[in-house]
A and B are shown apart, each in its own frame.
Chain A
């Protein structure tokens, strides 16, 4: 299980290869080998969502994915996502709503918000709460984060 393996995956649109232990966390590969530190470690056991990424298009906690599972996958992180128009709308909504305080959870929340809005562009408040329930924030009490998603949803609808 703990042998060195070579894995390759599509990282933010570019091929990325690394030789690593098969059970190493994808989170560590992203932070240490790829240098993408915007993927944060808040708990290391899938509870807080600070390390959220898109794994083959789906929202996932990178701390819970072993290296071996990343072989051949398509992985998008906050680093690549932050260069998109979709990100601009969501991050502006976070800024306008006051949804950012200490900021440690923010990239994860933005990834989760994007995942929600892709699946459901006009979510109700309750759907927003369910969509973001895998991410923890200790600063805001969530009110302004939920408002940010509402704002982003409205602005995206106008943008179409």
Chain B
């Protein structure tokens, strides 16, 4: 492995451990007001009247009319209003808000605000939804012909649930408006998304909106979209009141109003020829977008582009739709459509193995993508795919095949029902489709500040809009620049982005922070190194903008070509026990092998993989979130249980070496990967242990009882 992979202690652990790190909830500005939002207590209706209480002195009212530009956040689609207008489309939708000195008074004013509605028909689940925001079809090869010639056709459907990001720090934002300039501070992933949204909301020009990220206590996608809504609401209140306004959601509020992972319902028809070969798949993928489109279209793209999973199927037809329902708009969550599609694809291979009387691993490995194969979008897998090597490694650490054979014979006997499952996952790094080259157009800057007092002779500052949110961006980006420039790590400075200072290098999403931005700063560091060597005592800087490697082709109209420049890969093995009386599920083993190119820091990567695997196992088993008549049934950690120290075993992680040509020191996507594969490995293990074909997550003891009794 490259020497950059050697672990270095994080730069932020001291402040965070001692409690001196300042999160947005800790910030107090002089004269600052509190704010409370009145949420709709109605699923779908036309607003007839809003009866407001009399405002005490020093208190202000804001609603959709408080926006001088458009009352719509700019989150890919520009359709989600900051406050409802004539119609409420989901339970919990913000209708109006109050700002003033005391939060208790603002909350009381919300309670005293009475809204009358004319009811409209509401749709709560995918099956009942007729309308959709996006409808995409992709064809690879000639699926019609393969289905016509098929000896057998198998059909099954797969379902995944809603999942809450459950970052430990609830969302929060502070806005202030001084002399025509709007400044917003908060917990976020994408400072320029918020800046853009605020410019459009208040018709402000570039110089008059400033967004500053505060220390962000976890995000996982959950702080990609909603911070734009929250910033707009706080900004409206700051403009109306003329004072700084702070809004921090408490946990129940946060879980009641913020987006979650899209539930999915995926039907797969599979054509098999007379020799038992899989020849084609016909996939119908529906994801539950909720009441507004927001970024669901891109989530759907990611899902359908990887809809056969890690498997090369010759002829494929995929139709994907984002179904319109009356609940909270679904949003970004680590994996972004991938986990849903990969669960269905991998469980379908398990299903086919059972139907065709093959061992699941035996069938799966016959179809694994290899270098030179064609993706669902007719792109080419250009780089070496080392899944066979990864299978060998996972067999070594987990003993998968011999356990599988043993449980196949004895799973139903004894005190416990035992099972083991294996899954394969692929994750395309960076923005989907033409995002990087046509939409984001990342720009980074490095600056050299001479300082004779320091041993390095100065400081090198990394200026990017990508944020540290817990994932280790600060230490890993600094390591890349240190390694390339030859300067000591202490001389490389990374601070939380402020849009008045940093260029727009794009959002902190899709593993693009290392893979795209990391490469740009590596190249910029090489250029700046020259300048520093020429004249160490003068300030200097280098800017670098993204150029898409010309070998990758993409047609956004037809979704044809290379949807991603590079893929990362994972093999997961999960072992389980089921109690035959209580149906309690215990996960007894978790092993994984990853190809993330070059890990920039092995400890950071292990932390990502262990944490992500726990999230995925939670998604598969204990994290159940339901919308009952459009109202979230679980809005606290009491009702919605995320994993504790006692729930899952440690995940043993192995990284194989497979450097990516265009990544910094060979690095490619990593953060999403542990959320992609574990659900299918777990569900395959449960299926073996229970002797039933399980097709839905989360798998709960109640669900197993229904199946087994």
Interface positions of A (Cβ within 8 A of B): 31, 36-45, 47-48, 50, 77-79, 82, 87, 91, 94-96, 98-107, 110, 128-130, 132-133, 135-146
- Determine whether B77 belongs to the interface, using a CB cutoff of 8 Å to chain A: no
- Please report the C-alpha to C-alpha distance between residue A84 and residue B637 in the assembled complex, in whole angstroms: 32
Q: Does B471 contact A (CB under 8 A)?
A: yes
What chain B residues lie within 8 Å of A40 (beta carbons)? 19, 23, 25, 168-169
A50 and B25 CA atoms in complex are apart in Å by 13
A139 engages B638 (CB within 8 Å): no
Q: Check A94–B613 contact: CB distance below 8 A.
A: no
Q: Which residues on B sit within 8 Å (CB–CB) of A99? A: 13
A141 and B611 contact, CB distance less than 8 A: yes
Closest beta carbon of chain B to A76's beta carbon, Å: 12
Q: Is B9 an interface residue (CB 8 A)?
A: yes
A132 vs B647: C-alpha distance when bound (angstroms): 12
Which residues does chain A contribute within 8 Å of B454, judged by CB atoms?
none
- Across the interface, do A104 and B169 meet the contact criterion of CB distance under 8 Å? yes
Assess whether A102 is in contact with B646, with CB atoms less than 8 Å apart. no
Indicate whether A133 sits within 8 Å of B646 (C-beta atoms), given known contacts A37-B22, A102-B168: yes
Residues in B with CB closer than 8 Å to A144 are: 603, 606-607, 610
Interface string of B137-181 (1 = CB under 8 A from A): 000000000000000000000000000011111100000000000
Closest residue on chain A to residue B254 by CB atoms: A43
Taking a contact as CB atoms closer than 8 A, the residue among B17, B23, B637 that contacts A43 in the complex is: B637
Q: Is the CB of B251 within 8 A of A82?
A: no
Residue of A nearest to B674 (CB): A141
Q: Is the CB of A133 within 8 A of B644?
A: yes
| Inter-subunit contact B19/A82 (CB<8 Å) | yes
Cβ of B18 < 8 Å from any Cβ of A? yes
Tell whether, in the assembled complex, residue A106 and residue B16 are in contact, meaning their CB atoms are under 8 Å apart.
yes
Q: Give bound CA distance, A106 to B469, whole Å.
A: 14
Q: In the assembled complex, which residues on chain B have CB atoms less than 8 Å from the CB atom of A42?
A: 168-170, 251
Could you jot down 26 A-B contacts, CB within 8 Å?
A41-B25, A48-B168, A50-B168, A78-B18, A79-B19, A91-B18, A94-B13, A96-B9, A98-B607, A100-B12, A101-B470, A103-B17, A103-B21, A104-B169, A106-B16, A133-B644, A133-B645, A136-B168, A137-B168, A139-B168, A139-B218, A139-B611, A140-B611, A141-B610, A143-B650, A144-B606
The residue of chain A having its C-beta at the shortest distance from the C-beta of B7 within the complex is A98
Total interface residues on B, using CB and 8 Å? 57
Which of B's residues lie within 8 Å of A, judged by CB? 7, 9-10, 12-23, 25-26, 165-170, 215-220, 250-252, 469-472, 603-604, 606-607, 610-615, 636-638, 642-646, 648, 650-651
On whether the beta carbons of B251 and A142 are closer than 8 Å, the reply is: no
Neighbour of A101 across the interface among B611, B636, B645, CB < 8 A = B611
Given contacts A50-B168, A142-B644, 18 further A-B contacts (CB under 8 A): A45-B636, A45-B637, A78-B19, A79-B19, A98-B7, A98-B9, A101-B607, A102-B168, A103-B13, A105-B168, A107-B16, A107-B17, A137-B168, A139-B218, A139-B471, A139-B607, A142-B614, A144-B606
Q: Which residue of B lies closest to A77 (CB)?
A: B19
Measured between beta carbons, the chain B residues less than 8 angstroms from A41 are: 25, 170, 250
Q: Is the CB of A106 within 8 A of B644?
A: no
Residues in B neighbouring A48, C-beta threshold 8 A: 168, 637
Within 8 Å by CB of B14, from A91, A102, A140, lies: A91
A48 to B255, CA, bound (A): 14
Known: A43-B636, A50-B168, A98-B606. A138 touches B218 (CB 8 A): yes
> Given the complex of chains A and B, what is the CA–CA distance between A40 and B252 in angstroms?
16
Chain A residues lying within 8 Å of B169, measured Cβ to Cβ, are 40, 42, 102, 104
Report which of B218, B603, B642, B651 forms a contact with A102, defined as CB distance below 8 A. Answer: B218
Identity of the chain A residue whose Cβ is nearest the Cβ of B222 in the assembled complex: A138
Q: How far is the CB of B498 from chain A (nearest CB, A)?
A: 20
Q: Please state if A138 and B642 are interface contacts (CB–CB under 8 Å).
A: yes
Determine if B17 and A106 form an interchain contact, defined as CB atoms under 8 angstroms apart: yes
Q: A44-B251, A103-B217 are in contact. Are A138 and B10 (CB under 8 A)?
A: no
Q: Are A138 and B615 also in contact (CB < 8 A) when A41-B250, A42-B251, A102-B169 are?
A: yes
Residues of A within 8 A of B9 (CB): 95-96, 98
Q: Is there an interface contact between B250 and A130, defined as CB atoms closer than 8 Å? A: no
Question: How distant is the Cα of A43 from the Cα of B472 in the complex, in angstroms?
Answer: 24
Smallest CB gap from A112: residue in B = B645
* Complex interface: chain B residues within 8 A of A94 (CB): 13, 17
